[in-house]
Structure 1
Amino acid sequence: MSLLSILSLFMRSTRINIGVMAIVPLIILTIGCSSKESSQPSVGSQTAIAASVTPNTKQLNQNKISGKPENLISQNPAKSQTCIEENPFDESVKFALQASNLAQTAQSQSDWDEVARLWLQAVAWMQAVPINSPRRTFAEKKVVEYMRNLTYSQQQAARSGSVSQFPSFDSEPLDQQLKLYLSYLSTVGKPDILIVGSSRALQGVDPAQMQQVLAKKGYQNLRIFNFGVNGATAQVVDYILREVLTPEQLPKLIIWADGVRAFNSGRIDRTFEAIMASQAHQKIAAGIRPQLAKAEPNFQTKCYQLPNSCKHKDNSKFQFKTSNFIKKNDYDLADNSPKNNPSNYQNLFYRASKLNFSATLVSLDAIEANGFLPLSIRFNPNTYYQQKPYVSGTYDGDYRGFNLGGEQARAFDSVVAFTSSNNIQLVFVNLPITDDYLDSVRWSYEVEFNRQMKQLSQEYSFIFINLSEKVLRQYQYFVDPSHLNRYGASLVAREIATNPTIPWPSVR
């Protein structure tokens, strides 16, 4: 199984944010090492290395799992056709044990990178269990469990990431999205289309779906990034586009997806106030813009031991027990953890009762590499209002002192002027909300907002698209009364991509 096949399998099997693929750098894999002293070991040498970790081994030495070339078997077929016969199940457990032990003491980003690297190899070997093996069905379940461990390790690596050279904006969503966007610029390049707005945009417009629809229309290989930020009003969007980012970091097409609440100057703009009081804003005011840390010059090549296509032995030396992968200080440790008794594999899997995966799915950790937050929850009024009280438009704080003028209107005017002066096409999309949410008060504000935006678009030559259509208000497309889920986000992306009024960028 090739490395690309393994990564493809992983990506198809889960769309969890995996730090937005913030951990992509840890999967810069080298199949085989190019160091001078490294060459394909003999079969005897390989066997010795593979057997260096056994069920009776004491707590693993840190050097054994450091990922140095001398501790991992090079699997580059271009250098040698030698194929060691190994039981893939045993090899998988070996890497799982190493990952589990290291996870007990992991603290830094590099520690968690190494844990994730080991889990990746454990997944690859477990997936390599032959189809006709009696262990295959069991192994398939273990692949899923190991991938959860890999996801958790990647999330830990993202959370324990290197300290940013730029202070916080006192808005975690903005901090994370900005860091991801700067990394995107460095890795992929400037997008062709940038989506901005609040959380309604963040989870309401799917860039990948938009890219696919546009590709079918002949607009191939367009890069699309979603820079939605929770709580972003017109003032926040204006600040991001004009103050935080530079014109060189912006594409020639910006899609602002949101709604009337982001333009109400009567309510308190807590997100913008927090940003203005932050240390990051002090840097911005001093003319210093955020940038990523410089790349480390002494990059260390990592070797991966991955399964080759050869005949496998099928007599496992491991006796498996159902067990849990848990991190010290995060969860209760099992009594017989590998740290104290490596012959008992009590520390290889998640304890389901200890982890709230539904919470993870709605957290910022689930943001994808293109900035999009996909949520699968479907809004059900019967159950939703058992947990949260219904609030009518009259008492909704987002509509308090409703005013489409004021600072939010000035911020919008600023964005329109900025995009026009920089030859950037601005498209504003009014996202749909449910009928359940649109009571008489909110509906009147919605009508007023649509009328005003339509008039302004004709006056200032930006494009206004109103998606408050009946077909898009169905509950199945929403997470809650006013936020779309991934299914609604897919439909919205299709609606935008098929709109004939938008001048899409030229094909690459």
Structure 2
Amino acid sequence: MNTVSLDRQKALAQWVSQATGINSVGVKIRLRGNDLHILCEAPICPPRWKTLSDLLRALQQTDLEALKSNDQPAVYQVFVYGRHKEEQRPQWCHRVFLNQLDKHIEEVERALLNHKKNSPVSSGAIIISNESLARKGDPAAIARYLSETLSTLGVAVKVKVKKQRTTEKEAANKQRLWIFCQSHYTPDPSLIAEPVAQKLRNLNLSNYQDAVIASGVVGEKNHDWLLRIDLTPPEVMLKEWARWGDIEAISRLAKIWLNKEISVQASVKESTLHIFCTPRDPSSSQIPDKDFCLEAIIPQLEILAPQGISAATIYGQKTVKCEPTWIDWISLPAADHQALNISVLKLAKSGDESALLFLLERLLNPDLDNRLATGGIRVMLLRKEDLLHVMCDAPICPTRKKIANTVIEFIHKLQVQGVTGARIYGRRAGNKKPFWQFGIDFQPRQSTVPEAPPEFAATSSFVQDLLPSPDSEPILRPDLSIEEVQTFIGTQTQKWGTTFRKFLLSTQLFIEKDSAPQTSTDTQKVLLAGIWGAIGILLSLQLDWALGKAIADYSQAQQSKVSANRYELVEESAIAANPIKGKTNSSNSDAFNHNGFTQAGKKIAEEQKKANSTAILLAARSQIPTFNSRQLDEQLALYKQRLAKSGPPDVLIVGSSRALRGVDPVALSKALASEGYQDLDVFNFGINGATVQIIELLVVHVLKASELPKIIIWADGVRAFNSGRPDQTFETIAASEGYQQVIQASEENSKNSQTSQILGQELDQKNPSDNQNIYQAFNKRLNRSIAALSATYPQREQFKGLLNQQLKKIPAISNFSKHPGNYPEQDTKIPAVDFDGFLALSVRFKPETYYQNHPKVTGSYDRDYNNFRLMGEQDIALQRMLKYTALRKVPVVFINMPLTTDYLDPIRSKYEEDFRQYISNISKVNNNFIFRDLTELWPEKNDYFSDPSHLNRYGAYKVSKKLAVDPMIPWPRK
């Protein structure tokens, strides 16, 4: 809502007070959109016509723009109200068009005169409506006309006209309306799109091709969004469809060709068009005149030349049920031209894009009235080899659920010649890039590069006015054939090999094989090798000795530095550990109130730092050997401390980073409390990159049976179940000393117990093979031998620290380390979690800026989906874990976490469908396992995500509340 600034408000109020004689205290001013509202109140309600007369004459003599701020929008109309001071509602209201002040003054003066004579008040002046003025095409009148609707939303309007750049084939008088909307907030396009489209199209502006709405916030130069409205006259739209033989369009055109007294109905049988002409008034006995009807219809039908219709029969009758009074038959152009005699369906099947375009637009616009009123859904086609790309845009972006499957099914049934797949896109009219996309292949096909969405024009012509310059956007790589890719790689490899060969020869340490001397004997070769070997060993020993001395000096300096700060670190860690008391969590307890997020990140960040330092200290003091995963070590240390203070939590959240960031323990606990589940303790044990094998390791082997929760919420996605890709995170953990210890302890505890009966020989599969044990023993002996000879090897960790410190001084490496890339599952710097193990991220996903710093990786090139296969090691781990939790009577609820539209491209969507079927089948045969799918909960709510596939703390809050009210989840009770 636009409101006049305080100083300007006083100036306007004083001006109204002086003009009307009303005390300035009784005058209130408000500017909303392009409407100025003036409220006049007094102990006795101000008289309507006298107040209006004084105010209108003052308006006639005063420049209203001078009384308001320069950044305020223009005022098109003024609403004047009068009321008693103690009343809530005004007694009278009068609207004044500022462009017709003279007529308003004439109206008011006549009313005053009649009032003095005690005669009925009647308007003598004719006030022309804004709609009538706008139909003439005047931009100022169109702005006033639109402001009647938009000002109620607090949106100000300004209209300009720009001539289109035309080609020789197009008319030179085409113009475009630019409608600039300003407000103190960004209105949703759906609030403005259809109302403005209907009002503009209702004007039937024949001299404008289209209109573009540009919405922005007051004080900002850039527009928030653009919206294109097609201003093609309804009659032209009807002719476009009638050309293809659309019966409803032909019927409506016939009503236009005939006068209003005649009603028309049309139908098609075989290839003949039947048109029935009847009186509009059923009680009328007058039959439509035959000559008049034929003269109005026949020439127009011959010009239209409808596709696939070779003849027309026209009837004149009293009513539809009566026998025709007269009949006439005519031949249409399709009878003489073979190309026009082919049906639209046959043309579309043969690949005719114009025919296919009509069929798709007719399919997506079943309501012809809505299409004529708003412009409807426009379809654009682009054929690239065997793929058909279909762009659907409208004033309000068509939804994927309503559009995609309908179009795919139609194209598939139509069996268009040469089309083996289709890609469907949806966007708001005026945008260049799609909001969503969906695709399917009707036949198996091969693609060597990712399929980028093709460029569709934002408008029907001269899109440069709407689109950014080419320099501002990256150039998309074209599709390449396999032969072209192989040729390019072979040529580049040969060039690199030649360059490297020349470099080796230039060092004079290598010579050409053909030019090498042939006279050297085996003895000489052995002697030469021995000399160079001795020199190498000597240099290695000297380098090792020098590095050992340097590292010793560095270690001594670091020791003194650490000892100086040790007391401070221990004190900080103790303070950080202090707030933990059972379930109470000071880090998050105040982060929310009943309105949602009122205390953004500062306090949460401080508490996360405290929890993180506590976790580091606890992990360092832990007696459990490391798992080669700092995050797993620290999360386990926090969990062990929770166990020591309050026992196992009621709810344990597990999974990868999608769980770590996506489910808030505090929000979940509070939401469950409001549902009657009081005092439930929740802990988030999310681990970046966790797969099914890691979750099984945690639940079955790392945690003891007494440390298990009452229910496990497993929040993740399909990537964790892919057995076809290398599970590097698990392999790293499996090579650790901590892993060997928990597996050995698990084996010992499972002997002669129920667990051994459930797991059988599966635990043995966890143990390294005999060959691996032999290799590890040999490796340890070799390490001990090298450590005894080398001065550097025993201090290798210190050497890493020294090397890292020196490398960071190099600018290029330093800058690179600050931008590690877009690998959310393998962060080089682990963010700080809170005391409940939750990682609260406040960053919001904005595609327009996110992809400037991160590459956009499609599903075809996503490493998480490499060699996608659901059956394998991950499935075996899942079955093992479900058997174990069923034995312990711990329900497992798998939550398929929400994803964005940017992430769910056609490849990933297909994998998601396969995964849903797989996990649903498992849940049907396992009563202890529940599957809940939230993948497409908020595909367009980017504010709930920190990146395309991970929630932020706002999304985590919403997911936690949704889980709490889910009736399928068996939440425990105290």
**TM-score w.r.t. length of structure 2:** 0.30
Q: CA deviation at 1:252?
A: 2.0
**Cα separation, partners in 2 of 1:184 and 1:440, compared to 1, 3 Å:** same
The structure with more radius of gyration? 2
Q: Is the 8 A contact 2:626 2:633 kept in 1?
A: yes
> What is the one-letter code of the residue matched to 1:452?
Y
> What is the one-letter code of the residue matched to 1:392?
T
Q: Is the 8 A contact 1:379 1:481 kept in 2?
A: yes
Q: CA deviation at 1:286?
A: 2.5
> What is the one-letter code of the residue matched to 1:430?
N
Q: Is the 8 A contact 1:380 1:475 kept in 2?
A: yes
Q: Is the 8 A contact 2:616 2:634 kept in 1?
A: no
> What is the one-letter code of the residue matched to 1:175?
D
Q: CA deviation at 1:173?
A: 1.3
Match of 1:233 in 2: 691
Count how many residue pairs are aligned between Structure 1 and Structure 2. Answer: 317
Structure 2 residue aligned with 1:469, among 926, 936, 944?
A: 936
After TM superposition, list the pairs within 5 Å mapping 1:346-495 onto structure 2: 364=830, 366-461=832-927, 462-471=929-938, 473-495=940-962
Take 1:474 and 1:229, find their aligned partners in 2: how far apart are those partners? 25
Match of 1:212 in 2: 670
> What is the one-letter code of the residue matched to 2:883?
A
SS at match of 2:741: helix
> What is the one-letter code of the residue matched to 1:111?
E
Q: CA deviation at 1:172?
A: 1.2
Match of 1:243 in 2: 701
Q: CA deviation at 1:179?
A: 0.8
- Compare 146-155 and 459-468 and name the one that shifted more: 146-155
After TM superposition, list the pairs within 5 Å mapping 1:302-321 onto structure 2: none
- Any idea what the Cα deviations from partners look like across 1:205-264, whole Å, max 9, x if unmatched? 111111111101111100011111111100100011001111110012111110100000
- Any idea what the Cα deviations from partners look like across 1:306-360, whole Å, max 9, x if unmatched? xxxxxxxxxxxxxxxxxxxxxxx9x9xxxxxxxxxxxxxxxxxxxxxxx99xx9x
Take 1:400 and 1:118, find their aligned partners in 2: how far apart are those partners? 46
Match of 1:276 in 2: 734
Q: CA deviation at 1:474?
A: 1.4
Q: Is the 8 A contact 1:112 1:154 kept in 2?
A: no
Take 1:196 and 1:147, find their aligned partners in 2: how far apart are those partners? 22
Take 2:972 and 2:649, find their aligned partners in 1: how far apart are those partners? 10
Q: CA deviation at 1:381?
A: 1.2
Q: CA deviation at 1:164?
A: 2.6
Take 2:877 and 2:674, find their aligned partners in 1: how far apart are those partners? 36
Match of 2:716 in 1: 258
> What is the one-letter code of the residue matched to 1:436?
D
Match of 1:178 in 2: 636
**Cα separation, partners in 2 of 1:486 and 1:145, compared to 1, 3 Å:** closer
Q: CA deviation at 1:156?
A: 5.4
Q: Is the 8 A contact 1:433 1:473 kept in 2?
A: no
- Any idea what the Cα deviations from partners look like across 1:32-64, whole Å, max 9, x if unmatched? xxxxxxxxxxxxxxxxxxxxxxxxxxxxxxxxx
**Cα separation, partners in 2 of 1:146 and 1:222, compared to 1, 3 Å:** closer
Gaps of 5+ in 1: 1-102, 121-143, 290-328, 332-354
Take 1:419 and 1:205, find their aligned partners in 2: how far apart are those partners? 21
SS at match of 1:366: coil
Q: CA deviation at 1:458?
A: 1.2
> What is the one-letter code of the residue matched to 2:836?
N
Q: CA deviation at 1:150?
A: 9.6
Q: Is the 8 A contact 2:721 2:870 kept in 1?
A: yes
Q: Is the 8 A contact 2:628 2:736 kept in 1?
A: yes
Q: Is the 8 A contact 1:454 1:464 kept in 2?
A: yes
Take 1:238 and 1:146, find their aligned partners in 2: how far apart are those partners? 35
**Cα separation, partners in 2 of 1:113 and 1:272, compared to 1, 3 Å:** same
Take 2:939 and 2:951, find their aligned partners in 1: how far apart are those partners? 9
Match of 1:7 in 2: none
Confirm whether residue 504 of structure 1 aligns to residue 971 of structure 2: yes
Take 2:576 and 2:895, find their aligned partners in 1: how far apart are those partners? 42
Q: Is the 8 A contact 1:252 1:425 kept in 2?
A: yes
Q: CA deviation at 1:421?
A: 1.0
> What is the one-letter code of the residue matched to 2:648?
K
Take 1:199 and 1:149, find their aligned partners in 2: how far apart are those partners? 21
Take 2:720 and 2:964, find their aligned partners in 1: how far apart are those partners? 23
After TM superposition, list the pairs within 5 Å mapping 1:86-235 onto structure 2: 106-108=564-566, 110-114=567-571, 159=616, 162-235=620-693
What is the percentage of aligned positions where both structures have the same residue? 44
Q: Is the 8 A contact 2:576 2:611 kept in 1?
A: no
Q: Is the 8 A contact 2:612 2:832 kept in 1?
A: no
Q: CA deviation at 1:469?
A: 2.6
Q: CA deviation at 1:281?
A: 1.2
Q: CA deviation at 1:394?
A: 0.5
Match of 1:66 in 2: none
SS at match of 1:219: coil
**Cα separation, partners in 2 of 1:376 and 1:152, compared to 1, 3 Å:** closer
> What is the one-letter code of the residue matched to 1:492?
V
Q: Let me know the Cα RMSD of the aligned residues.
A: 3.5
- Any idea what the Cα deviations from partners look like across 1:140-177, whole Å, max 9, x if unmatched? xxxx9999999868865654564332211011111111
> What is the one-letter code of the residue matched to 1:448?
D
Take 2:966 and 2:603, find their aligned partners in 1: how far apart are those partners? 43
Match of 1:323 in 2: none
Higher relative CO (CA 8 A, sep ≥ 6), structure 1 or 2?
A: 1
Q: CA deviation at 1:117?
A: 7.7
Q: CA deviation at 1:106?
A: 4.6
SS at match of 2:632: helix
> What is the one-letter code of the residue matched to 1:465?
R
**Cα separation, partners in 2 of 1:472 and 1:488, compared to 1, 3 Å:** farther
**TM-score w.r.t. length of structure 1:** 0.57
Confirm whether residue 287 of structure 1 aligns to residue 745 of structure 2: yes
**Cα separation, partners in 2 of 1:473 and 1:419, compared to 1, 3 Å:** farther
> What is the one-letter code of the residue matched to 1:483?
H
Gaps of 5+ in 2: 1-560, 578-600, 748-801, 806-817
Take 2:883 and 2:746, find their aligned partners in 1: how far apart are those partners? 23
Match of 2:593 in 1: none
